[in-house]
Amino acid sequence: METILIPLGAGLLQAFEPLNLFMIITGCLAGLFVGCMPGLGSVNGVAILLPVTFLVPPTAAIIFLAALYYGAMYGGAISSITLGIPGASTAVATVFDGRPMAQKGKADSALMAAAIASFIGGTVSIILFTLFAPPLAAFALKFGPQEEFALMLLAFATFIGLGGDDIPKTIFSILLGLVLAAVGFDIISGQPRLIFFDMVEFQRGIGFLVLAIGVYGIGEMLWTLESTKGKVQMHNVKITWARMRSNFGQIREYINSTWVGSILGFFVGTLPAAGATPAALMSYGLAKTFSKDPDSFGKGNVAGVAAPEAANNAASTGSMLPMLTLGIPGSPTTAILLGGMIIWGLRPGPLLFTESPDFVWGLIGSLYIANVATVLLNIALIPVFIRVLAMPFTLLTPIIFVLCVLGVFATTDRMFDTWIMLIIGVTAYLLRKLNYPVAPAVLAIVLGPLAERSMRQSLISSQGDAMTFLERPISLTCVLLAVALATYPIIQKAVRNRRSRRAA
Amino acid sequence: MTVRTAELLMAIATLLLSLGLMMKVYFDGLTIGWVDGRGPGAGVWPFWLSAGMALASLATLIRWFMGVTPESRSTEDYISRDTLFIVGVSAAALLGLLISITIIGTYLSLMLFMLLYVRFLGGHSWGMTMGMVIGTPVFIYLLFEVALTKYLPKGLPIFEEGFLWLDNFRYEWFY
């Protein structure tokens, strides 16, 4: 326990340093803002603002982005409840009961429940994170390149098995990301690869940030413009001290589903393809199943708001666990954070705990503070964010576009990358309209170079013997799990077909 | 164009892209096979992953012909007229922004972009428009050039020289 408490104390102290505290508060505010804007979520905020964080040292930068991640999870509920449009996909389940509550004039009660549930979800998950991270990182120190590659294989297989999207389209998305990551010089032989039209600009490769900002900045904004057409219908929210006090007393109605959602959210969040959206949906389903009054769900049951909100917050912390301990991101947002860590000169993975303890524990400490800061800011600023929601998209969109273009330029110093970003953004929008998932491509472009390096290192050390991946127990387990996950949808379909044939 | 047609065209496009990538790797002379005692050659990763992309695209094409995907059965418009306007204008405005940045520089381009988007597309008041037209370049200058010390593109030399006085002024008085 001492091995956890002492560095945690140091991390908390670090989080209280003036710069870090300032980053936590600005991050929470930025996250709340990004989260409450319809269509924009943590991933968009982190992708668009990552270049701006080069202003500060890496620890302060990741603290800002993690606080933003947190804030966005809280903020997502605001638009789900008041507009009936999820602030991000992670807040979809919040709409089911949040909107009926707002229609009944109980928007304030729903917002309060969302904030409290998010806080409980956040707190539970941070405690679980603190307990699980050090032993997992210590265990991961045994990993060689074989295990690293097998783990990445497992991460991609999770997208196929649990992603719930069209499988050939998911595979295409993963492979496209991996191929785009191969543009530039080969890491082993130094040979140039995929230098299109012999343009020298491709020799430096396609940065993950170019793809991430293209997909989540440009592509997502085009998608949001299409889905909202710039017009939103907002519900009135009445907030008084007396109502706030009575809303606080309502906590007994949803506390049980909040605990369950928090624990479920954390563990679902650790899975690469799952993340906050399915965690929230599963938590909603569980709350409904075990409720004494399941028929009231979908008609304005406060537990239907609290359960998914607790889960999506817990999942956001959960997704950081594999990112920090194994170097495998648990969500698209953590994939971008991982890419950021590489830009800052850190090597994500188990060694991070021994090589950069200040960074890791500073981040963990800041999560505790960010959770408290966000719940306070969220409750205090509900009226402000409701005003922000009334801001027309024709003002927000050009600002985001400008930040995307200049953010990419500032990272790479090349106009060429801004062109690539625009092409990727428009393509991602067109692909997404046809149900091609884009998150696997972002994860793949971050993990691509690491996956190829670990695969080739393993094969060089085994003198080209591919059995090396099956001869080591951890690697073998991961490969078998990956195969099981990748074939799971096929088996599931075959079982379903057999059952329906029997029933017929 | 219906969603059904769009899915077919997209699957063909992704298949052609995948085949193009495979050909690119092959004709660049990269080793796409196993090197004895060393494992995969430099071209193995991109070549075989592109082959996987081609197979995934083929699978989508087959599923389209069989009517398995919801998109292959949808007769709705892929991009409706309303969407085409708002998304098309936004994408075109971005394209214009990138072109104009290389000619007249970042700041003048930003002013024109804001004018177009806020006044003509958003229909906001002149007060709001001017606030955005002036406020955005000032904010961007302070954030990127002052705080992040990034030299943003200033366009052709004639525009760049016109801008140098501002940098001279800043360095003379503030450093």
Which CA distances in Å does A36 have to A87, A118, A235, A384, A390? 5, 14, 14, 11, 11
Cβ(A38)–Cβ(A228) below 8 Å: yes
Q: Which long-range contacts (CB under 8 A, 24 or more apart) does A123-126 make?
A: A123/A262, A123/A371, A124/A259, A124/A262, A124/A263, A124/A266, A124/A310, A124/A314, A125/A262, A125/A265, A125/A266, A125/A269, A125/A313, A125/A314, A125/A315, A125/A316, A125/A317, A125/A318, A126/A317, A126/A364, A126/A367, A126/A368, A126/A371
**CB atoms B87 and A429 under 8 Å:** yes
- Distance from C-alpha of A355 to C-alpha of A357, rounded to nearest angstrom: 6
List the one residue out of A268, A383, A301 whose CA is nearest residue A117: A301
Residue ranges of chain A with per-residue pLDDT less than 70 = 1-2, 38-39, 85-89, 162-164, 229-240, 272-275
The pLDDT assigned to A117 comes to 92
Cβ(A254)–Cβ(A460) below 8 Å: no
List the one residue out of A70, A57, A88 whose CA is nearest residue A25: A70
Residue to mutate among B86, B101, B120, with most A CBs inside 10 A, is: B86
**CB atoms A435 and B101 under 8 Å:** no
Work out the percent of chain B whose per-residue pLDDT is above 90.
50
For A1, other C-beta atoms within 10 Å of its C-beta total 6
- Distance from C-alpha of A122 to C-alpha of A126, rounded to nearest angstrom: 6
Closest in A172, A413, A430 to B57, CB measured = A172
Counting one residue from chain A and one from chain B, the pairs whose CB atoms sit within 8 A come to: 175
The pLDDT assigned to A487 comes to 86
**CB atoms A395 and B24 under 8 Å:** no
**CB atoms B39 and A398 under 8 Å:** no
Structure tokens at A327: 């170097």
Residues of A in contact with B26 (CB under 8 A): none
Which CA distances in Å does A14 have to A3, A7, A59, A67, A361? 17, 10, 9, 15, 8
> Which DSSP symbol is given to A52?
G
- Distance from C-alpha of B59 to C-alpha of B72, rounded to nearest angstrom: 13
DSSP A269-311: HTSTTT-HHHHHHHHHHHHHHT-S-GGGTTS--THHHHHHHHH
Greatest distance between any 2 Cα atoms in chain B: 71
**CB atoms B113 and A176 under 8 Å:** no
Cβ(A265)–Cβ(A306) below 8 Å: no
**CB atoms A171 and B56 under 8 Å:** yes
| CA A181 distance to own-chain centroid | 20
In Å, how far is A258's CA from the nearest CA of chain B?
35
Residue ranges of chain B with per-residue pLDDT less than 50 = none
**CB atoms B148 and A410 under 8 Å:** yes
The pLDDT assigned to A80 comes to 80
Condensed to tens digits (0 to 9), the pLDDT of residues A340-390 reads 888 888 877 888 888 888 888 888 888 899 889 988 888 888 777 777 777
Closest in B91, B114, B147 to A398, CB measured = B114
ipTM of the complex: 0.93
In Å, how far is A455's CA from the nearest CA of chain B?
9
User: Roughly how many angstroms between the first and final C-alpha of chain B, as a whole number?
Assistant: 59
Cβ(A59)–Cβ(A367) below 8 Å: no
